[in-house]
Amino acid sequence: MNAVMAELATLPAKGISRIIIDIGANLDPIQSPGNDTLVLAIEPVVHAGIRRHPRLLVVPAAVSDSDGVANMSVYSSRGGASRQEASSLSPLRTANGEMQIGSQLPVPLLSASRMFASIPKEMSVVLLKTDTQNHDFSIVRATGDALRRVRRIKNEVDLKAGVAGGYVNQSNDICNDFMPYMSRRGFVLTCLITGRHSQQIVLARNPEHLEAFCSRRQRNTGTRWANTANVAGTNRSAGLPRWWGDAYWTRHDLLTTGSCDPCSCVGRRALRA
C-alpha cells in the first residue's frame, strides 16, 4: 500500500492531471475517461482480481478516519464485504477457491486524510465515489476540509431511517446525515436514484426534491412510506425496490445549466472536468 501511495507523487510528471477516487471498487472499478486521468481504486478484499490498466492504481485497503487494521465480513462470493468488529476469523475461501460467505478477514485501513495528502495539490479530483456498505458517510466526514478539492461525489446512501441497508452500528442516512453535511460543505444534490439499471427510480433531481422526499419520509414511516415514495418531478408514486440508493453531488461553484437532465446523464457528468 505504501508504494502505491508514494507513486501518486509521480503522476504530474507523467502528464496525469486528474484523478478519480473509487472507494469500494470491488472487481469493476471506474474506467479512466482519458490519458490525463488516473483511477485510484481502493479495494480491501478482491484487489488481486482487478484487471490492471496503465491509468489504474489499486490500493489493497479500506478507507477510514485513521490508519490501522479492521476485520471485514464477506457477504458474497465476489468478495463484497462490510467492516465489522470481530473476535475470531473463519476460513476465507471454499474448496473451489471462492470467497466464503460469512468469513471474516483483517484488512489494512488507510485514513482519508493520508489518502488526500498523497495526491499532489495540482491534480484535480474529478470524482470521489464510495460504495462501502454503510461506511460512506463516515468516509466523507473523515475527509474533512480536503473535500473542497473534490468536484463531484457519488455515495451509496440509506433511504429509510433505521434500516441502515442491513448493516449495524453505522449511520449512513440520506436525510439525517448526508443532506445537512453536504450542504454545509458546499455540495448540491443533482440526483438520487434507487433500483438497478432499467428499473431505476428517480427520487430527487435537486435539493428541493430531496427536502420534499425527506419530509414525506418523516410523515410516512414504515411500510406505508415504501409504497408511497413519490418519483421526483412527477405526481406518480412507486414502491422502493431497495432500502438504499445512489446520491450524486456537485460542488456548488461548478453547477452549470445544460440540456442534459442530471439523473439521466450522471455518469457522463461525473467524469467531465
Q: Which residues of the chain have pLDDT under 50?
A: 77-95, 99, 101, 164-165, 222-228, 231, 233-237, 259, 267-273
Instruction: Give the containing element (helix H, strand E) for 55.
Output: none
pLDDT digits (tens, 9 = 90+) for 113-134: 999 999 999 999 999 999 988 8
Confidence (pLDDT) at 73? 73
Q: What is the pLDDT of residue 100?
A: 52
Output the pLDDT for position 90: 36
- Cβ within 8 Å of residue 235, ≥6 positions away: none
- Output the pLDDT for position 206: 92
pLDDT at 272: 38
Nearest Cα to 241, choosing from 233, 229, 232? 229
Using alpha carbons only, what angle is made at residue 166 by residues 230 and 150, rounded to the nearest 5 degrees? 70
Burial of 211 (C-beta count, 10 Å sphere; 0-12/13-18/19+): middle
Give the pLDDT of residue 38.
97
